[in-house]
């Protein structure tokens, strides 16, 4: 794709490097950015609007997912909150996040 530029996968430091910053930005941590392609040239809002109107484009974020679509994205073995007898375990979620952060820190 001659009009596209590939960004390679990279691990970045995400968050403030000084004491100032929003609470939800702290603490600074490592984040892996997967490779992706991006347009080589900027697209203005006017150009994007023309594209949207010409193609009747609807972004994924503008579409309401069905319950089945949401449930299909659960990790295998995760109890679905909408299923009878299932419960949401906040402590388990926190533990998984801590384990993921520890793995990223290595």
Spatial contact of 13 and 30, defined as CB atoms under 8 Å apart:
yes
pLDDT of 55: 94
Sign of CA dihedral 61, 67, 72, 77: positive
Q: What is the pTM of this model?
A: 0.35
β-bridge partners, 12: 31
pLDDT tens digit at each of 106 positions of the chain: 568 898 888 888 888 877 777 777 788 888 898 998 988 888 899 998 999 999 999 888 888 888 788 778 888 877 666 555 555 566 666 777 777 777 777 7
β-bridge partners, 13: 30
């Amino acid at each position: 794709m001659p009009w596209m530029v590939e960004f390679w996968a990279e691990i970045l430091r995400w968050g403030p490097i000084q004491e100032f910053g929003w609470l939800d930005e702290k603490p600074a941590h490592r984040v892996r950015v997967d490779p992706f392609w991006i347009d080589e040239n900027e697209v203005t809002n006017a150009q994007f609007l023309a594209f949207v109107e010409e193609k009747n484009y609807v972004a994924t974020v503008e579409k309401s997912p069905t319950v089945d679509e949401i449930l299909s994205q659960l990790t295998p073995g995760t109890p679905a909150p909408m299923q009878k007898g299932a419960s949401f375990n906040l402590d388990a979620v926190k533990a998984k996040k801590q384990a993921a952060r520890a793995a990223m820190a290595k």
